[in-house]
C-alpha cells in the first residue's frame, strides 16, 4: 500500500490522492457507524429519529449520551455502541493521519 523506504517519495499529486482515499474511507466508516448508532437508538431505545441521531453522534465523538435510557436492552446497546465508538474514533484518526506520518518518516529516512 505504501512505498518502501528505498523507493522515492510520492509526488505531491499522488500524495494528495492517497490523502483523499484515506479521507473518504474514514468518512464512510464514520457515517456507517453513525447510521448504525442512530438505527440502534431508534429501534432499541425507542428514541425519535432526531434524538437517536443526536445520541449516536454524541457517543461517537466521545461527548457522552444526551437522553436517559430506561430499559436494560437500551443500556446494553449504549454500552456496546460506546465501546465500538471508541475503537472507531481511534481507527478513523489513525487512518487520517497515516499518510502524513508515513510521508514524514519516509522523508526523514530518504537518501539525499
Residue 51's pLDDT is 96
Residue 7's pLDDT is 77
Residue 48's pLDDT is 96
Residue 17's pLDDT is 94
Number of domains making up the chain: 1
* Cell digits of residue 73: 436492552
* Structural domain includes residue 76: yes
Q: Which long-range contacts (CB under 8 A, 24 or more apart) does 22-25 make?
A: 22/95, 22/96, 22/98, 22/99, 23/96, 25/95
Cβ neighbors of 3 (< 8 A, separation 6 or more) are: 9, 10, 106
* Cell digits of residue 43: 429501534
**Domain harbouring 53, CATH code:** 1.10.287
Under-50 pLDDT residues of the chain:
none
Residue 40's pLDDT is 97
* Structural domain includes residue 2: no
- CA 19-23-28 angle, to 5 degrees, is 150
Of the candidates 55, 30, 33, 61, the residue with the CA atom closest to the CA atom of residue 42: 55
Domain range enclosing 56 = 17-109
Residue 111's pLDDT is 57
Residue 10's pLDDT is 77
* Structural domain includes residue 10: no
Amino acid at each position: 500500500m505504501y512505498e518502501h523506504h528505498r523507493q522515492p517519495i510520492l509526488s505531491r499529486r499522488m500524495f494528495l490522492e492517497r490523502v483523499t482515499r484515506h479521507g473518504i474511507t474514514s468518512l464512510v466508516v464514520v457515517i456507517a457507524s453513525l447510521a448504525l448508532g442512530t438505527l440502534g437508538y431508534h429501534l432499541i431505545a425507542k428514541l425519535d429519529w432526531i434524538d437517536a441521531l443526536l445520541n449516536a453522534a454524541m457517543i461517537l465523538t466521545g461527548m457522552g449520551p444526551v437522553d436517559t435510557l430506561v430499559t436494560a436492552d437500551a443500556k446494553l446497546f449504549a454500552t456496546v455502541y460506546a465501546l465500538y465508538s471508541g475503537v472507531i474514533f481511534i481507527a478513523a484518526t489513525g487512518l487520517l493521519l497515516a499518510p502524513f506520518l508515513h510521508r514524514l518518516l519516509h522523508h526523514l529516512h530518504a537518501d539525499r
